[in-house]
Structure 1
């Protein structure tokens, strides 16, 4: 069993995830795992990084497949002993011109971005080592202010909010979207935003829960900027390397931040404030 430090990046065969792996290969004193749903695409990414002089490891990992996550956990536990850095990057978003009904978009988006990310964390957190770092990739749209309803914002920011209660709220949004009342209920009209607000709120809860274990594990959530990737139809002005900057900063220790919303420039932003910063990227 290896005593080498281990970093894992989900959904990292392309885009920001790929750049995070690259950045960790450059700066992290340990072994870096590039993971992806598709083994072939993952191997292509590994080969690209090897041509650049890096040597990341690869393992198949699909957070939408519970068996895949369990297999990955068991492999890491057997071969590495644990995880020191976990970057939850895997996510999906419908295109702006998608024709699927909002209810379907809500169900599919939250399944990956919130519910299955939560499940992956529940499976992998037990093998986090002391002093570990968890980085959840949120978004500018993951700021609490993007929820229109004051009542919903109050519930999402309640210090006593539990994971179960948060999941109930996320399920309520899906049901409201299916019933076509999500806008009048104050959720807004962008399912991706709700999924990332949910992930942001989850990050705060996760930090509180891990604090009770006294293992000095940090959970932070980050807005990487508006990055030119498949998800943004390459409209984002920032490069994937720029998008990876703050996540890598946090992975390397991030000034011992815990439970914070970190902007792309590595500054700390008040998630609860009435408005997010003007500089989205």
Structure 2
């Protein structure tokens, strides 16, 4: 069993995830795992990094597949018996294209399932492996600002307290239920935004639990990478993926015994109150 420090980045064979792995390979003193659903694409990404003189490891991981999650968690436990950095980057976003026959209900269910539920499932599998001083980064978006909620009752519901994980799950279940009658469109700008609101609530709920955990100094953060030119944005963003990786990597490498914000949302390496209703949406 290796005693190496270990970092894992989900959905990292391309885009911002790839840039996060690239930066960690340069700046993290340990083993960095690039993960992807498709093994061939993942191995190609590893080769691309090797051509840059960087050494990373690959493991297949589909966060939407519990068997894949369990297999990966078992691998990390048996090989390292611990994890030091987890960057939850994997996510989807639908774009309205003429040939896309996906129904609105399917879009909602798929987006919430992958962006939120699958991320939570991975956390449930890997959190027991986190070592003291571990860092977890949940890649979110400015789309997850409370200001993107249009219904005053839901604004009050979300802003009135610190949610537990179970309460966050129930909130998103309620959103999915509303989508079955089309009422969700009066609630929030789109289902991607709702999935990222869920991630921001989840981040705080996870930190509340870690604050009571006997393992010292585990910090969970959510953040926006900014509006980057990737396939997620149809390559319309003004920022490069490398620029988008800067804040997630900054949070992944927070120094030991961090006494700054925990369980909070960050943008441009600074804490930002995502629940402030005065915040206006900016892309990502």
Partner of 1:237: 238
Instruction: Measure, in 2, the Cα distance between the counterparts of 1:146 and 1:42.
Output: 34
From the superposition, tell whether residues 176 and 277 of structure 1 become closer, same or farther in structure 2 (CA, over 3 Å). Answer: closer
Task: Please point out which of 127, 152, 155 is paired with 1:153.
Answer: 155
How big is the shift at 1:156? 2.2
The corresponding residue for 1:193 is 193
Q: Assess if the C-alpha contact under 8 Å between 2:164 and 2:205 holds in 1.
A: yes
Q: Deviations over 1:22-50 (max 9, x none)?
A: 00001111110000001000000000000
**Where does structure 1 lack aligned partners over 5 or more consecutive residues?**
none
How much has 1:150 moved relative to structure 2? 2.4
Output the CA distance in 2 between the equivalents of 1:188 and 1:280: 15
TM-score (normalizing by structure 1): 0.95
**Which runs of structure 2 are paired with 1:64-83 in the superposition (5 Å)?**
64-83=64-83
Quick check: 2:145–2:281 contact (8 Å CA) kept in 1?
Answer: no
What is residue 251 of structure 2 aligned with on the other side?
Answer: 250
1:268 alignment partner in structure 2: 271
Cα offset for 1:101? 2.4
Equivalent pair of 2:147/2:281 in contact (CA under 8 Å): no
- Partner SS for 1:33: strand
Please give the secondary structure, in 2, of the residue aligned with 1:100.
coil
Alpha carbons 1:70, 1:123 under 8 Å: kept: yes
Note if contact 1:156-1:166 (Cα within 8 Å) is conserved in structure 2.
no
Note if contact 1:157-1:201 (Cα within 8 Å) is conserved in structure 2: no
Distance 1:144 1:56, change over 3 A: same
Q: Where does the alignment leave 5 or more consecutive residues of structure 2 unmatched? A: none
Q: In the aligned structure 2, how far is the partner of 1:204 from the partner of 1:278?
A: 21
Question: Offset at 1:161?
Answer: 2.1
3-state SS in 1 of match to 2:262 = coil
Tell me how far 1:275 sits from its aligned partner.
2.7
Matched positions, count: 278
Q: CA RMSD in A?
A: 1.6
- Distance in 1 (CA, whole Å) between partners of 2:275 and 2:87 is 23
Match of 2:111 in 1: 109
SS of 2:58's equivalent?
strand
Quote the residue 1:56 is aligned against.
56
Shift of the 46–129 alpha-carbon distance from structure 1 to 2, 3 Å rule, reads same
Matches within 5 A, 1:143-222: 143-184=145-186, 187-215=187-215, 216-222=217-223
> Contact conserved, 2:162 with 2:204, CA < 8 A, in 1?
no
Q: Please state how far the C-alpha of 1:169 moved relative to its aligned partner.
A: 1.2
User: SS in structure 1 opposite 2:137?
Assistant: strand
- Structure 1 window deviating more from structure 2 (243-252 vs 168-177): it is 168-177
The match for 2:140 among 138, 141, 146 is 138
